[in-house]
Amino acid sequence: PPLDAILNMHDFAAAAEATYSPKAWAFYSGAANDCLTHAANLVAWRDILLRPRVLTGVRNVSTKTRVLGADFSVPFFWAPTALARMAHPEGEKAIARGLAARGSSLCLSTNSSFSLQEVVAELPRDYPVMYQLYVNKDRAVTEAHLRGIAKLRPRAIVVTVDLPVVGKREADERIKTDVAIASADNLQQKVEPGKKVGGLARATGGFIDADLRWEDLAWLRGITDIPLFLKGIQSAADARRAYEAGCAGIYLSNHGGRAVDTAQPAIIVLLEIQAQCAWVLERMEVFVDGGVRRGTDVLKAMCLGASAVFLGRPFLYAVGYGQEGVEHAVDLLRDELETAMQMCGITELGQAHPGLVNTALVEGR
């Protein structure tokens, strides 16, 4: 369908399913085992209900957000997702340009098809971006890699900690392919050209160190002073621990349901943090992702104390239309968010608060 017929994130997914290669669709859309966590991520947002307030005068609304010491026009960003070049030849470059054109930004994956250097070259000078780090079993590789990344001054180093081993992604396993289709130049795990492998996740994620520990964070912080975030925090206990370990922030995520199936949705973890250690939300920036598809989802996360929200798959699908598709995706989500804010009686995200949501359905589970 033409871009102007795309009205929401679901339409982008349908367009991607119809046009992407079966391998790209399986890799992007898939999740671990029975995909229950991926489904639960989507359902959790639906089960949190809004409690609108009225008669507050909401004509002028703004979605401006300050996070990582930078100003953005929206509170949502692109989550680190590997190999965007399977969706479009310009992959991460087109996504980055589209996001920056609309005042949003991204957290680039270690397993991106283009390097951080190549991606920032597409953006205005010093445009704020984040970088996602997978720690290599060969710590010397990560040390050299991180020193190179630090020179480009991303605003945060986001260490992914929810995937010590690769999840069991069955749709991805079933379609054997040549990894070259994914443009493997930037990958740390080298794959024999022409060799057909089952499972891109396995073929690109085997270098990740399953022995990474809390004690190792000091080593990472010794390499660079760029603020460190942990991505894949799934309990209030680990949220506290991340603060004690000196992290600048945490990123609540279950890896889009691609790590351990039946893990709880990030928004539930956020509720647990609210209940058990709400002070964490005052002292650290807290990011959330997984199943965010609507402006109302973004608003709910902000009401419950998130500093920012991330979307993974929707931007992999929007970039099928190139940079323009990504700009359109941001426009749709921002419009939905503005409308949701107005309907709930607020005009700035700073006014979002827990009283605007009813969490009884998810708390009862």
Measure the CA–CA gap between 66 and 184, rounded to whole angstroms. Answer: 35
Instruction: By CB under 6 A, name the one of 292, 298, 299, 362 that touches ligand FNR.
Output: 292
Span interacting with ligand FNR, options 15-23, 56-64, 88-96, 251-259, rule CB under 6 A: 251-259
Query: By CB under 6 A, is residue 156 in contact with ligand FNR?
Result: no
Query: By CB under 6 A, is residue 313 in contact with ligand FNR?
Result: yes
Asked if 255 is an active-site residue, the reply is yes
Question: Least separation, in Å, of the C-beta of 265 and ligand FNR?
Answer: 10
Site string for ligand FNR, 196-235 (x = CB under 6 A): -----------------------------------x----
Which single residue brings its beta carbon nearest to ligand FNR?
A: 312
Which residue, 77 or 321, has its beta carbon nearer to ligand FNR? 77
Which residue, 114 or 346, has its beta carbon nearer to ligand FNR? 114
Query: By CB under 6 A, is residue 312 in contact with ligand FNR?
Result: yes
Which residue, 92 or 289, has its beta carbon nearer to ligand FNR? 289
> Radius of gyration (Cα) for the chain, nearest Å?
19
Question: Using CA of residue 330, residue 331, residue 332, residue 337, what is the dihedral sign?
Answer: positive
Measure the CA–CA gap between 336 and 332, rounded to whole angstroms. Answer: 6
Which residue, 27 or 207, has its beta carbon nearer to ligand FNR? 27
Query: By CB under 6 A, is residue 249 in contact with ligand FNR?
Result: no
Three-state DSSP string of 15-64: HHHHHCCHHHHHHHHCCCCCCHHHHHHHHHHHHCEECCCCCCCCCCCCCC
Angle at Cα 281 formed by Cα 277 and Cα 285, nearest 5°?
140
DSSP 168: -
Residue type, 151: K
Question: Environment class of residue 183 by beta-carbon count within 10 Å: exposed (0-12), middle (13-18) or buried (19+)?
Answer: middle
Measure the CA–CA gap between 36 and 331, rounded to whole angstroms. Answer: 30
Measure the CA–CA gap between 112 and 133, rounded to whole angstroms. Answer: 11
Span interacting with ligand FNR, options 43-51, 54-62, 79-87, 349-357, rule CB under 6 A: 79-87
Question: Least separation, in Å, of the C-beta of 54 and ligand FNR?
Answer: 31
Tokens for 203, please give them: 């073929």
By C-alpha distance, which of 207, 203, 186, 27 is closest to 119?
186
Q: Does an H or E element contain 170, and which?
A: helix 170-174
Question: Least separation, in Å, of the C-beta of 347 and ligand FNR?
Answer: 27
Site string for ligand FNR, 322-351 (x = CB under 6 A): ------------------------------
Question: Least separation, in Å, of the C-beta of 293 and ligand FNR?
Answer: 8
Tokens for 122, please give them: 């597409």
Question: Environment class of residue 150 by beta-carbon count within 10 Å: exposed (0-12), middle (13-18) or buried (19+)?
Answer: middle
Query: By CB under 6 A, is residue 80 in contact with ligand FNR?
Result: yes
Query: By CB under 6 A, is residue 104 in contact with ligand FNR?
Result: no
Query: By CB under 6 A, is residue 79 in contact with ligand FNR?
Result: yes
Question: Least separation, in Å, of the C-beta of 122 and ligand FNR?
Answer: 19
Among residues 10, 255, 328, 353, the one annotated as catalytic is 255
Determine the size of the site formed for ligand FNR (CB under 6 A): 23
What residue ranges bind ligand FNR (CB under 6 A)? Answer: 27-28, 41, 79-82, 109, 111, 132, 160, 231, 253, 255-256, 258, 289-292, 311-313
Residues belonging to the active site: 255
